[in-house]
Amino acid sequence: MKLIEQYRIVDKGYHPFLIRDGWQVAQLNYTPEQKIGNIEKLDIHHLTDEVFILLKGKAVLIGATIIGEDVMFVTELMKPNVTYNIPADTWHNIAMRMDCEIIIVEKSNTHERDFEFFPLNEEKKKEMEILVNRAFDENLSY
């Protein structure tokens, strides 16, 4: 057994890499599906909070409340070295710019069974895109 383990994920997309009893760490690296304008849906986890930490690049967390077919968005430009939590039962997604890397911490095996998707119609995708671009543009120092 190594006393100090080390991980570095360079492939695009979502990669759970440290899965232990009850929790896991994953890395989400930029992928075209997370580019604003390409995001098609929101997702939710019913059994876990989901923690996000920006390693590098730019990203905007997207939270949403859904009542019937109506979606109301909130957005937050992520800052490096700040821990963000999306509570269980919260609709969300994340918009990323190229070369962005994010660490995610959540209950183990969330990626296998604790998720549900809500597809966005064209009107809601456009609304979300405007809000995300505004968040990216309002704070250009990150």
Of residues 123, 131, 121, the one with CA closest to residue 36: 131
Identify whether the C-beta of residue 31 lies closer than 8 Å to the C-beta of residue 58.
no
13-57 pLDDT tens trace: 998 888 889 999 999 999 999 999 999 999 999 999 999 999 999
**According to the model, what pLDDT value does residue 140 have?**
57
Element (H, E) at 6: none
115-135 pLDDT tens trace: 999 999 999 999 999 999 999
Tell me: pLDDT of 67 over 90. yes
**According to the model, what pLDDT value does residue 114 have?**
85
89-101 pLDDT tens trace: 999 999 999 999 9
Tell me: pLDDT of 142 over 80. no
**According to the model, what pLDDT value does residue 112 have?**
82
Identify whether the C-beta of residue 25 lies closer than 8 Å to the C-beta of residue 104.
yes
C-alpha R_g of the chain: 15
- pTM (2 decimals)? 0.89
